[in-house]
């Protein structure tokens, strides 16, 4: 699917949305779909060249951020929200994927994975949720009809694990837990929180290590006989960001082509 094939329905018209890790892959597809649906989008990413190019292509704004740095994350996200005039949806998509045998993972490996995949989500959620709450208290939104929305990117690995993925799988399991607690605590503030658990997605992040044989083998795990494209995940993110998902919260939604069914 290309940008040109999207059929805009304006289901996100006027929504102010921040997407982390939106320079390429799943994040870029999500940002592109949101923009096509009428949202005002800000992309946050460490990759300045690809991020700026994606933002220019879809009519979004771009902010360079190091999500491993708490202070930088808080500062840049605040700047992005201010540029949008507020925030209605936060998509915590940014993350890293690295492999290592369990007995060879160092504590530095572990901490790096959690710092980017999980801790950054805590920081961005705090910043964005506080602004969402302030907006409602200031009369900028009707809490009964326009909940704030937080969409976190977890992984099938966070539910099933996988050899060589102890630190990655654990970080994504933590994302699922964080999402559920976020839903519990922020529900009374009219903020929903859900996460997406993709399976194998054909993105740039995994291109360097996968082979045609890998793709064929992994595809066989799905009843649909194929792997996901980034657009498959973007469609679910669009649903979660829209008013169609106003009564959905605390869920970890599989986008795995049936590779797991729970």
Q: List residues with catalytic annotation.
A: 168
Instruction: Convert 89-108 to b/e letters by CB count within 10 Å (16 or more is b).
Output: bbbbbbbbbeebeeeebeee
Rounded-to-integer distance, Cα 198 and Cα 156, Å: 6
Rounded-to-integer distance, Cα 55 and Cα 99, Å: 30
Q: How far is Cα of residue 167 from the mean position of the Cα atoms in its chain?
A: 19
What's the CA dihedral at 144, 126, 122, 227 to 10 degrees? Answer: 40
Rounded-to-integer distance, Cα 208 and Cα 99, Å: 13
* Nearest to 186, CA basis, from 244, 118, 130, 123: 130
Residue 248, judged by CB atoms within 10 A of its CB (0-12, 13-18, 19+), counts as: middle
Angle at 240 between CA 194 and CA 149, to 5 degrees: 65
Q: Could you tell me the two tokens for 113? A: 């994975």
């Amino acid at each position: 699917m290309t940008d040109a094939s999207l059929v805009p329905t304006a289901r996100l018209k006027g929504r102010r949305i921040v997407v982390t890790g939106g320079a390429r892959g799943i994040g870029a597809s999500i940002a592109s779909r949101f923009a096509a649906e009428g949202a005002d989008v800000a992309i946050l990413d460490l990759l300045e060249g690809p991020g700026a190019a994606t933002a220019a292509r879809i009519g979004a704004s771009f902010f360079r951020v190091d999500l491993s740095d708490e202070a930088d994350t808080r500062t840049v996200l605040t700047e992005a929200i201010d540029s949008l005039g507020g925030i209605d949806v936060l998509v915590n998509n940014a993350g890293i994927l690295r492999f290592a045998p369990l007995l060879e993972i160092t504590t530095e490996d572990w901490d790096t994975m959690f710092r980017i995949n999980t801790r950054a989500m805590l920081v961005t959620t705090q910043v964005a949720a506080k602004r969402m709450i302030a907006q409602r208290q200031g009369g900028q939104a009707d809490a009964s009809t326009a909940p704030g929305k937080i969409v976190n990117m977890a992984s099938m690995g966070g539910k099933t694990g996988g050899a060589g993925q102890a630190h990655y799988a654990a970080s994504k399991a933590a994302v699922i837990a964080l999402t559920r607690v976020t839903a519990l605590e922020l529900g009374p503030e009219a903020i929903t929180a859900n996460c997406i658990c993709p399976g194998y997605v054909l993105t740039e992040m995994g291109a360097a290590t996968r082979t045609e044989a890998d793709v064929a083998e992994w595809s066989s795990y799905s009843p649909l006989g194929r792997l996901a494209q980034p657009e498959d995940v973007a469609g679910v993110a669009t649903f979660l960001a829209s008013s169609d998902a106003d009564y959905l919260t605390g869920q970890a939604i599989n986008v795995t082509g049936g590779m797991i069914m729970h």
